[in-house]
């Protein structure tokens, strides 16, 4: 069961931290690209929309799935706690609380990844809509 504890601590939480770097890195890259995008070089609305929204789906996917990954860590942590209780045959409050704290840590990290990712996606989506509106205003469409 030590493997399961390591899986929750380093596997699930480590994966969530990696996803947060992917989300924030992609958001920064997209923000800079959108800010510097020259709308006059695009011939159609579809062309500019494709360029502006490139890779933004990763941010949305991370934002919507991070809580579930955290929940997976929680379920694994609770399973570990119950297994420990079953193996030892008696309830040691300290071990139960440590196991539950480990489980809840995964959920907290999942939410800490999801909330900023969702906010960043919405901010970027607003910036894309602004650029598309400017393109339509300039091109009369």
Return the pLDDT at 109: 94
Return the pLDDT at 141: 67
Instruction: Give me the residue spans of the domains in the chain.
Output: 2-139
Could you report the per-residue pLDDT of 20-60, keeping only the tens digit for each? 999 999 999 999 999 999 998 999 999 999 999 999 999 99
Residues in the chain with pLDDT values less than 50: none
What's this model's pTM, rounded to 2 decimal places? 0.86
Distance CA 134, CA 66 (A): 34
Among candidates 58, 27, 19, which has minimal Cα distance to 128?
A: 27
Say how many CA atoms lie within 13 Å of 117 toward its Cβ: 28
CB-based contacts of 17, cutoff 8 Å, min separation 6: 109, 113
Query: In Å, what is the CA distance from 112 to each residue of 45, 62, 97, 124?
Result: 35, 11, 22, 19
Distance CA 125, CA 111 (A): 21
Task: Yes or no: say if 73 and 103 are a contact pair by the CB < 8 Å rule.
Answer: yes
Return the pLDDT at 32: 96
Return the pLDDT at 84: 80
Say how many CA atoms lie within 13 Å of 132 toward its Cβ: 16
Query: In Å, what is the CA distance from 124 to each residue of 4, 14, 52, 117?
Result: 38, 26, 9, 11
């Amino acid at each position: 069961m030590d493997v399961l504890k390591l899986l929750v601590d380093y596997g699930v939480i480590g994966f969530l931290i990696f996803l947060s770097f992917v989300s924030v890195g992609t958001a920064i890259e997209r923000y800079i690209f959108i800010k510097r995008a020259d709308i006059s070089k695009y011939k159609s609305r579809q062309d500019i929309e494709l360029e502006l929204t490139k890779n933004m789906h990763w941010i949305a996917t991370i934002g919507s799935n991070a809580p579930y990954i955290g929940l997976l860590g929680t379920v694994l942590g609770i399973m570990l706690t119950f297994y420990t209780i079953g193996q030892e045959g008696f309830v040691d409050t300290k071990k139960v609380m440590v196991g539950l704290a480990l489980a809840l840590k995964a959920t907290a990290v999942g939410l800490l990844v999801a909330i900023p990712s969702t906010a960043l996606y919405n901010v970027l989506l607003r910036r894309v809509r602004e650029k598309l509106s400017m393109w339509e205003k300039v091109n009369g469409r």
